[in-house]
Structure 1
C-alpha cells in the first residue's frame, strides 16, 4: 500500500531563501539516500544526537533509510547542510504523517562551533516551515502543525525550539521491562489463546505470507477508535497507516495481535516490532496498544501485554519496550508499572502551528 504522491517541495531552492544565512561556502541540498557514504554520515549524526540527548545511541543505518530511501520518500523530504568541504553538518527530515500533522527531524552536528550550529539550525527551521505550508496547501488546510521531538535533557535543542516558536506540549516516558525465559508460559500460546470470553490471536496470514486485509482493517479501526480522544490524535487512512508501519526496520507481520469478544467483534489490538541489538539479545517493542472503550475493564490490555511478553520470551528476547504519555489522564502508566515496566529515559513533543495561506 503506497500512499498518494509526495506533497512536499522536492527542490531545496523552492523551500529556502536565496541566502539562507549559512557560513561562507556552506550550502544546503537534498541527500542521496542511495549513496552509502551519505547514509553512513547521517547515521553518525543521528547517533551523536542521541548520545548528547540521552547518554547512549541506539539507531543504525536502517533507521536513517526509513527517512531517505526511495520508499521512505513517498511521504517524506530531506535536507542536509554541507560545509565548504562538502561534509554534512546538519540534517532535516519532514514526514507527512497524517492530515494536519507533519513530523520534523532536526539534527545538527555536536562538534561544530556555536555560530555555525545556530545558522544550520535556522536553515532547517526555515525549510521545515516552507514544507509545512506546502503539505498544508496540498491537503487544503488553513493551518499545518509541525511536530518534533527532543530528549528531556537536551538543553541545546530546547533553546533552538523555543527561539523558533515551538512550544513544549507533552512528555513521554520511554519504558522497558526485562523478560525471563520462564515467561514464555505466561499464556498458553501467543498465536491464539482465550481468557474470560476474550480471544487473543495473531492477525491471520494468507498463502503469500501477507496478512488478511480484513484483519488489517480491524487493527486499524480499533486503534483509530481507541485513540480518538488521545493527545494529538490525527486520523490516518488504512493506506497511510500500513505504509508507515511497514517502514519500521523492526516490522514483522507476526507481531500484530487482535483481541476479540465472544461474537468475534474486535475489542483491542497490539502492534509490536523487533528491537534489534548489535551487542546482545533482541527485544520486542509495543508500537501500538489500543482497547475500545466498550471493551475496557475486561482485561484486554493486560491480556495483550501478557501475549507480547510471552512471545518475546519464546523467541529468546530479554526485554519489551513501550512509550507512555506521562500526562495522560487514563492512568495507563499504572498498568505498565504493575506489570514490571520502568522508565528508561524521557522524551518530549514540541509543536508549532504554521499558517498555510
Structure 2
C-alpha cells in the first residue's frame, strides 16, 4: 500500500512565529549567550521531571552550534519577571532514512506550570514541526512528532490529552556497584578503552548495532563527533571490543559529577551498549559492560545507570538483570503521526 507524500499528510499550520502570549510570559528567540539561563531553567524543571540527573550545559550550547539546528526558528525561550521560565525546541535531525521525525523538547519551571504555558509552547512546537516536515514534501515516509517523558510525570496525561499516543516504554535500570561483580574471561576478545582514534569506528558500529532497534536512525559524523567529544563521555569508563580495525561491541559511558548533587549518589551512565549484528550471540555485550562496571567501581562510583527499550529485540533487559541491574522506573516515548 502506497503512502501519500508528506505535503498531503502534514497540515499547513501556518507560520510558526512565536508562541502565543500567556501568563505574562514574554517569548523570544534565544542566542548562545542565553545558554546559561536556559540551563538553569531546564534543570529547575529537571528536579521534578527526572531528579536523578541534570542536563549538562554543553548539551544546551550544542543546539546553537550544530548545523541542523536553526536557533532563529527551532528554539524559543519565555521570560517572566526577568528570568527564563520556559525553554522549547523542535528539531529535525539529519540522516533519517525511513522516517521524518521531529523531536520536541520543552521545559517549564515548576512554579510556572498549570498556567497554559506548556499548551502555548506545544502549539508553537507543532507549527514549527509541520514547517520542518513539509520542507520534505515529496517524501513518502512516515512523518512523526516525538517526545520523551518520565512515565509518572504530568507530561504524559498532558500530551495524551493533546492527541499523542504512548509508542514505547523504556526501563531505567540501576546497578549497585558495592555488590560483587562477577569477572568474565575475555577469551579471544580484545577489549580496550574508547579512545579518540576509535571514534569513527564507534559510529560505524553504533549504526550497525542499532539498525534493527525501534526508533533508531543512523548517526551522522557531525552528531557522533559531538557526542564523543562531550566532557561527560569517559574513555576510561567505556569499553569496546575490537576485531582488526572494527569495533564489534561497545559499552560507552558517561559520568557527570553534578548529578550526585540531585541524585544523592555518584554514578556512571551507560549511554550505549551494542554489538554489531554479525557478532551477536558470542557473549560480547556482557563482557564490555562488565568492564564498564568494574572501571566505575574502581573509580569509586556508587551506581551504574542505563535505560533500555522494554521490548528490545536483542533481549537486553534480561542481560542487564543477569548482571545485577534492577528496575528503578520507566520512561515513555509519545508520538503523534501524520
Which TM bucket (shorter chain)?
A: 0.7 to 0.9
Q: CA deviation at 1:136?
A: 3.5
CA 1:127–1:246: 2 relative to 1, 3 Å: farther
Structure 1 unaligned spans of 5+: 1-12, 188-193, 205-210
Query: Secondary structure of the residue that 1:275 maps to in structure 2?
Result: coil
Q: Which residue of 2 aligns with 1:333?
A: 317
CA 1:196–1:284: 2 relative to 1, 3 Å: same
Q: Which residue of 1 aligns with 2:287?
A: 303
CA contact (8 A) 1:173 1:326 kept: yes
Matched, 1:224 2:207: yes
Whole-angstrom CA distance in 1 between matches of 2:260 and 2:313 = 37
Query: Secondary structure of the residue that 1:16 maps to in structure 2?
Result: coil
CA contact (8 A) 2:165 2:334 kept: yes
Q: Which residue of 1 aligns with 2:156?
A: 158
CA contact (8 A) 1:147 1:349 kept: yes
Superposition map of 1:17-166 within 5 A: 20-23=19-22, 25-35=24-34, 39-40=36-37, 42-53=38-49, 56=51, 58-59=53-54, 63-68=56-61, 72=65, 74-76=67-69, 77=71, 78-83=75-80, 85-98=81-94, 99=96, 100-112=100-112, 114=114, 117-118=115-116, 120-136=117-133, 142=139, 144-154=143-153, 156-166=154-164
CA 1:24–1:240: 2 relative to 1, 3 Å: closer
Q: Which residue of 1 aligns with 2:6?
A: none
Whole-angstrom CA distance in 2 between matches of 1:327 and 1:181 = 27
CA 1:141–1:166: 2 relative to 1, 3 Å: farther
Q: CA deviation at 1:70?
A: 7.0
Q: Which residue of 2 aligns with 1:198?
A: 189
Superposition map of 1:4-19 within 5 A: 15-16=16-17
Whole-angstrom CA distance in 1 between matches of 2:168 and 2:294 = 31
CA contact (8 A) 2:193 2:238 kept: yes
Whole-angstrom CA distance in 2 between matches of 1:341 and 1:306 = 12
Matched, 1:258 2:240: yes
Whole-angstrom CA distance in 2 between matches of 1:24 and 1:307 = 51
Q: CA deviation at 1:230?
A: 0.7
CA 1:341–1:238: 2 relative to 1, 3 Å: same
CA 1:233–1:112: 2 relative to 1, 3 Å: closer
CA 1:180–1:102: 2 relative to 1, 3 Å: same
Whole-angstrom CA distance in 1 between matches of 2:300 and 2:171 = 25
CA contact (8 A) 2:252 2:270 kept: yes
Superposition map of 1:209-220 within 5 A: 211-212=196-197, 215-220=198-203
Q: CA deviation at 1:47?
A: 3.6
Superposition map of 1:264-279 within 5 A: 265-276=246-257, 277-279=259-261
Matched length? 312
- Normalised by the length of structure 2, the TM-score is 0.79
Whole-angstrom CA distance in 2 between matches of 1:109 and 1:145 = 26
Structure 2 unaligned spans of 5+: 1-13
Q: CA deviation at 1:334?
A: 0.7
CA contact (8 A) 2:15 2:128 kept: no
Whole-angstrom CA distance in 2 between matches of 1:317 and 1:91 = 32
Runs of 4+ in 1 over 6 A off after TM superposition: none
CA contact (8 A) 2:32 2:64 kept: no
Q: CA deviation at 1:270?
A: 2.1
- Normalised by the length of structure 1, the TM-score is 0.75
Query: Secondary structure of the residue that 2:278 maps to in structure 1?
Result: helix
CA 1:353–1:245: 2 relative to 1, 3 Å: farther
Whole-angstrom CA distance in 1 between matches of 2:23 and 2:265 = 47
Whole-angstrom CA distance in 2 between matches of 1:127 and 1:227 = 32
1:299-330, CA deviations, whole angstroms, 9 ceiling, x for partnerless residues? 10010011101111221212211111112243
Q: Which residue of 1 aligns with 2:10?
A: none
Whole-angstrom CA distance in 1 between matches of 2:271 and 2:40 = 25
Q: CA deviation at 1:226?
A: 1.1
